[in-house]
Structure 1
Amino acid sequence: MKISEVMRETNLTKKAIYYYEEEGLITPWKDSENGYRTYSEEDVKKLNIIYGLRKLDFSLKDIQAILSQGKNTKEIINKQLDSINNEITCLLKNKAVLERLSQKDSESIIGEFKSVIADLDKESKNIAGYMLKELNRVLPGNLGKMFAIQYGQFLDEPLDSPEKELAWQNMIYMLDSLEEINYPDDIKDIINEKFERLTDDDLEKFKEKFISETNKILARTEGPSKEEQDEIRKRIEEVEKNPAFQKEKELQQFMINHLKPIFHDVNKYMYILSSRFEKFNQLMREILSN
């Protein structure tokens, strides 16, 4: 089956199909001379499953596990169901609060608002992704965006322990206490562009694949093989060769110039807030030092 037919059968774009091929989720036959692909019925079946699971907000990692049948599919579905139920619970509580407030006069609304929001915030801390959403609320400017760009992939866990809550509060206080930074217009443009995920498609694809590959390794107890280390180095080189990476370098240098004194303390808090952060940094140190 040709890719145009596959696109019609699956409602997927060409870029999406190629991406799932690169991720190893499908394995079409590829003509070595002209690069044309031929897709099997099994490929189309998998792509339809991927399309459906993406619609249900499953992560690529969970989709890989379901397709490989290496993990319990029911367990993965139940995990996603729990996540959605948590979100629904929060939305219903938000709805109930708004309905209650809508019945009151303006003075009463202002009087109750602080305690109501405090209760809602307490509930939402136990939901995965709370920290990243909260970061955008408490530090809505360029600093918060830069921090989200740099550490966002590690802020996906719930704030579900007193130790985490203290680390989060201390880190936010530290960031909020920084002296004001003067952001040149070109840096503002880069921050906004990256924060809105509007950077070059190829660069984002390289980076997403890099994150996916390293996450697979982090999920294991043993370290990466030499072949895996070589592949990650290759992926880093591909990112760095991409013309759009110049913007990455500019932003990284700007952050080093203005935030270097606090990086040590930020990392100290991130080790507490993210179960993957320390292992990820250790992995990168090993790869880049070899």
Structure 2
Amino acid sequence: MNIKVASERTGLTKKAIKYYETEGLIIPSKNCENNYREYSEADIVKLNLIGALRMLDIPIAEIKKVIEGNKSMHKIMEESLKRIDNDIENLKTTRLIISNLLEKNSKDYYGSGDNIKKLRESLELSMEEKKEFISNKLRRVFPGKYGEAFILNYEPFLNITIDDEDKKEIWIKLIEALDDFDDISETEEGKALMSKYNSIDDGEYTESLKKLRTERTENTYNIINWNEEYVKANIKSAVEYWKKIFNDCTERDSFKKVTAPMIKNMTGTFGEVHREFCKYLSLLNKDFKLYVDNTQRLAVESHKQFEKETGLSLKDEITKLLEK
């Protein structure tokens, strides 16, 4: 049969058939009398296969391997499926970033390129790289020694795995939330707190961080697992602490001078950063969510015990103390 009939039988254009011939996928015979190409039934079978595989976006080079018997159909389909899955993931990520940019409606034309690149690359980071990535962003918001102490609070929970689309979206929102916050040391509340931490001797600070890291690791484990013995001891310690604050003038004055300003800071910029960061981290790390829930539960139990022993509302008493 000639090329016209081959085209009708396969649904391929004459141009496509000639191209596949050029690539060596089919080799039709030639009619000696008129020098026209003659296509066999075997050629038609090959052309139909080639057309079908091209519809699946399988490259010509791979199709040639199948035609020549150098690769099985099963293998080529496996590889194509893997490539398609990767393409889908890439498209989902691209869609997510575009949707996020549209949602923000940023007018910063010059900064958009860097922002897109940063968001895309951050999703490809390993777990350890993500941990360092977030730590560095926190250091920008909370510079100096306070920043290191702040990061230490969250260190056990920065092992983040992005394994679904929801987490990708949350990860991007976390990054952008941190990027939106300015350097805390530029605020009045920040300057005072940074100054307090930065005035600590380097050697003393290093040792205190080591001790704090050990305590944080132990406390985190006990809170996540709701260690009954630890909980009872913690409640007892909390109740005794607040009793001392309310009954001892020296302790009360110290609280007003040192602790009260820090608590008040948590309602301002500091608190906003903490809340935003914790909100997203809770969604990315199930252990942190459990830690937050159990910490709140521990606070409730402490308040109940304080009221049981004193007949007073701890929340009301703290509020009065902060207002004085």
TM-score range, shorter chain: 0.3 to 0.5
Q: TM-score, normalised by structure 1?
A: 0.42
Q: TM-score, normalised by structure 2?
A: 0.38
